[in-house]
Chains A and B, each alone.
Chain A
Amino acid sequence: MTTLSPVRPEGERPMGFADRLLSLPFVQRSDALRSFILGAWLGWQIESNWADPLLFAVYSFARPIASVMILVVMYSVITDGATQQPIFAYIYLGNALYIIVGGVLGGISWAVIDDREHYRTAKQLYTSPLVGYAYLCGRGAARLLIGAISTIIVTVFGVLLFGIPITIGSIDLPFLIASIMLGLTSLSGLGLIIGAISFQLGRNAWQAGELISGALYLFTGALFPLDILPPVLREIGLIFPATYWLEAMRRALLGTNMIGFPTFAALDNTAIAFILLIMSVGLWVSAAFVYRWSMRQAREKGVIDLETNY
């Protein structure tokens, strides 16, 4: 028995929208697609439904808002509340967008450890005919979606309360769509690599994603222009897709309101998109290798279903 379609009594649709997706003929033909949808469905159930809806709203709202408010207060203490300065929009928007970066980079490794240590379902998952990486990407997608909701909330909050200059006229829609697609592809490739490596780590794997995204916070120009960094650290930032993605998103959203910093002055929009494309391809090819290597290692060491219970 290798089917992944859920068996259900007639008339019952326990998985709602996901169930309808799973019934599509082309989905039924592809184990990877089914695994992805199931992963995303499960991720959404875990992240959203099990908590009280009110608590969930607070969680999606309060945490990111608090996070950005720390920066707002820091900024205001020093500048006496001069939020109309371009540097404020730079900091604010970088922080809002970084929620997505964190979600994508940390989501997959989080899923690995959550299945293993918390729900103890790793054994069942990896002995079933699921396509592991697709399932994990699904879990990551659910976190991405939740992150994206927070990003939108924080951005709207900033536009309304602090006058972040995003207007219909300032948005470069084609470039925005291209940036989102290329950015998410490259970031999820990196997320999958981190997730795959998490299989090798103990319980602290749940921090692997956060660790990388935390470190990238420093190097990718999320909160301050890269020019502030000493030259050596600046070079580190240039090898990560998040750096280019944040630059691309700021340009796409703020248009001419975007402050220009010397780091990327030489690159036009097309060049940035091209860099993201190259990175996407490179990271996904690497992810495929790393995932296969890591799963083989994990099976060799017997740690796929590791429970440390520390």
Chain B
Amino acid sequence: MSSTPLAIETHDVRRIYKIRGGKRKGEAKTLIALDGVSLEVPRGELFGLLGPNGAGKTTLIKILATLLLPSSGTAKVDGLDVTTQTQEVRRRISMVSGGETSGFGLLTVEENLWMFARFYGLDNKTIKSRLAEMMQMVGIYDRRSTKISDLSTGLRQKMNFIRGFISDPSVVFLDEPTLGLDVTAARDVRGFVKDWMAQNPDRTLLLTTHYMAEADELCDRLAIIDRGKTLICDTPENLKRRLQSETIFHLKIQPLRKPTSPENVVEAVPGVRSVTIADQTDFSELRLSLQGEEALPAVLSHLSGRGSGLLSLEKREPTLEDVFIQLVGRRLDEDTNLNGTGEER
């Protein structure tokens, strides 16, 4: 193993895709998926990449996992260059994605996992003992002889997890690992990840997610990424602390009509730092970031002036979602505008 304490290191990584759809027929259009990303993840850290769809998270993971070359910049895993020392990197890493469909439907869970482990050069004895342990751990031991075409999404993802971890990698990339899983299965997956990290201080894990709570619960540090750029990188606590000076309210009001003039928007009310509005069928949801509680009455009177009565009001501690909104200016579930620079790959 390399002597560097850094498990993952990227320096000014850019990735540009050529896609169809230029102005003239047949002309290629370029799309900047990553625009100079620099990160340092020390060994032993569970690092999160947080961002909306199209931010560039998956592109970065694919570069680090040797599936994609950077257009420029350097990326290293365990001190090894992912562009030139590909084979060495592959021995040390593994990747699991949410909604993964790999495997052969006609083979059983055990057979598929045996096959994948052999691709990593493991001997039969090791595979046998590790498989039995890990299948018991994730709770699919009793389904080991089931053909994988008969597995549910949750069980299939548990199998994918074993595939990812059976080769005893030192760096693991998890791309939206809980995508499409139910609450229990997602909790199991998070538990598994935490335990795996806890077992050996040299292990490193890079996780992409757009579930804020998941990132908050799991990550030692995280980077918020949007339109191919890292906006900020810190521990979840420090990120939330940035917003301590703000007061955050969540309001439900009667459906908000469009403002009659630009000056008539909620943001124009004195003391309002930022507002996001989500319109539902029977009401509108407002997330207000205020300089202080004293600004609230003015906001309420502004809303009632626009014909929207208050339905409920709640004062909230800042969350990562609030950090994200403050940095990006929109909610996480709003995708990156594709006319911009990023597209999820």
Render A56-78 as a binary contact track against B, CB cut-off 8 A, 1 for contact. 00000000000000000000000
Specify the chain A residue showing the minimal Cβ separation from B101: A309
**Could you tell me which residues of chain B, from 84 to 128, have a CB within 8 Å of some CB in chain A?**
101, 103-106
Render A123-150 as a binary contact track against B, CB cut-off 8 A, 1 for contact. 0000000000000000000000000000
Q: A308-B106, A309-B149 are in contact. List 14 more A-B contacts (CB 8 A).
A: A202-B106, A306-B149, A307-B105, A307-B149, A308-B105, A308-B149, A309-B101, A309-B103, A309-B104, A309-B105, A309-B106, A310-B104, A310-B105, A310-B106
Q: Can you report 11 A-B residue pairs in the complex whose CB atoms are below 8 A from each other?
A: A202-B106, A306-B149, A307-B149, A308-B149, A309-B101, A309-B103, A309-B105, A309-B106, A309-B149, A310-B104, A310-B106
Name A's B-contacting residues (CB within 8 A): 202, 306-310
How far apart are B101's CB and chain A's nearest CB, in angstroms? 7
In the bound complex, residues from chain B placing their C-beta under 8 Å from that of A308 are: 105-106, 149
Most chain B CB inside 10 Å of its own CB: which residue of A306, A309, A310: A309
In the bound complex, residues from chain B placing their C-beta under 8 Å from that of A307 are: 105, 149
How far apart are A201's CB and chain B's nearest CB, in angstroms? 13
In the bound complex, residues from chain B placing their C-beta under 8 Å from that of A306 are: 149
**Could you tell me which residues of chain B, from 57 to 93, have a CB within 8 Å of some CB in chain A?**
none
In the bound complex, residues from chain A placing their C-beta under 8 Å from that of B149 are: 306-309
In the bound complex, residues from chain B placing their C-beta under 8 Å from that of A202 are: 106
CA distance A214 to B36 in the complex (A): 59
Specify the chain B residue showing the minimal Cβ separation from A309: B105
Total number of residue pairs linking A and B with CB closer than 8 Å: 16
Q: Which 7 A-B pairs have the closest CB atoms?
A: A309-B105, A308-B105, A310-B106, A310-B104, A309-B104, A308-B149, A308-B106
How far apart are B222's CB and chain A's nearest CB, in angstroms? 34
Main secondary structure of the interface of B (DSSP, over half): loop
CA distance A202 to B105 in the complex (A): 11
CA distance A307 to B106 in the complex (A): 10
Please report the total number of B residues contacting A with Cβ < 8 Å: 6
CA distance A310 to B104 in the complex (A): 5
In the bound complex, residues from chain B placing their C-beta under 8 Å from that of A310 are: 104-106
CA distance A112 to B299 in the complex (A): 59
How far apart are B178's CB and chain A's nearest CB, in angstroms? 22
Specify the chain A residue showing the minimal Cβ separation from B147: A308
CA distance A208 to B196 in the complex (A): 48
How far apart are B102's CB and chain A's nearest CB, in angstroms? 9
In the bound complex, residues from chain A placing their C-beta under 8 Å from that of B103 are: 309
How far apart are B257's CB and chain A's nearest CB, in angstroms? 28
Specify the chain B residue showing the minimal Cβ separation from A303: B149
**Could you tell me which residues of chain B, from 259 to 294, have a CB within 8 Å of some CB in chain A?**
none
Specify the chain A residue showing the minimal Cβ separation from B103: A309
In the bound complex, residues from chain A placing their C-beta under 8 Å from that of B104 are: 309-310
Render B131-152 as a binary contact track against A, CB cut-off 8 A, 1 for contact. 0000000000000000001000
Specify the chain A residue showing the minimal Cβ separation from B148: A309
CA distance A310 to B148 in the complex (A): 10
How far apart are A68's CB and chain B's nearest CB, in angstroms? 37
CA distance A256 to B105 in the complex (A): 56
CA distance A307 to B147 in the complex (A): 12
CA distance A37 to B103 in the complex (A): 36
In the bound complex, residues from chain A placing their C-beta under 8 Å from that of B106 are: 202, 308-310
In the bound complex, residues from chain A placing their C-beta under 8 Å from that of B105 are: 307-310
CA distance A308 to B104 in the complex (A): 7
Most chain A CB inside 10 Å of its own CB: which residue of B101, B103, B104, B149: B149
Specify the chain B residue showing the minimal Cβ separation from A308: B105
CA distance A186 to B323 in the complex (A): 68
Most chain A CB inside 10 Å of its own CB: which residue of B101, B105, B106: B105
Specify the chain B residue showing the minimal Cβ separation from A120: B101
Specify the chain B residue showing the minimal Cβ separation from A306: B149
How far apart are A5's CB and chain B's nearest CB, in angstroms? 27
CA distance A310 to B106 in the complex (A): 6
CA distance A306 to B106 in the complex (A): 11
How far apart are B99's CB and chain A's nearest CB, in angstroms? 13
How far apart are A307's CB and chain B's nearest CB, in angstroms? 6
Specify the chain B residue showing the minimal Cβ separation from A310: B106
How far apart are A1's CB and chain B's nearest CB, in angstroms? 18
In the bound complex, residues from chain A placing their C-beta under 8 Å from that of B101 are: 309
CA distance A202 to B106 in the complex (A): 10
How far apart are A241's CB and chain B's nearest CB, in angstroms? 35
How far apart are A305's CB and chain B's nearest CB, in angstroms? 11
Specify the chain A residue showing the minimal Cβ separation from B149: A308
Specify the chain B residue showing the minimal Cβ separation from A117: B105
How far apart are B201's CB and chain A's nearest CB, in angstroms? 38
How far apart are A122's CB and chain B's nearest CB, in angstroms? 14
Specify the chain A residue showing the minimal Cβ separation from B106: A310
**Could you tell me which residues of chain B, from 206 to 242, have a CB within 8 Å of some CB in chain A?**
none
How far apart are A118's CB and chain B's nearest CB, in angstroms? 13
Specify the chain B residue showing the minimal Cβ separation from A302: B150
CA distance A308 to B106 in the complex (A): 6
How far apart are A298's CB and chain B's nearest CB, in angstroms? 15
CA distance A310 to B105 in the complex (A): 6
CA distance A36 to B134 in the complex (A): 50
CA distance A202 to B150 in the complex (A): 13
CA distance A309 to B147 in the complex (A): 11
CA distance A306 to B105 in the complex (A): 10
CA distance A202 to B104 in the complex (A): 13
CA distance A306 to B149 in the complex (A): 8
How far apart are B156's CB and chain A's nearest CB, in angstroms? 11
Specify the chain A residue showing the minimal Cβ separation from B150: A302
In the bound complex, residues from chain B placing their C-beta under 8 Å from that of A309 are: 101, 103-106, 149
Specify the chain A residue showing the minimal Cβ separation from B107: A310
CA distance A307 to B104 in the complex (A): 10
CA distance A308 to B105 in the complex (A): 5
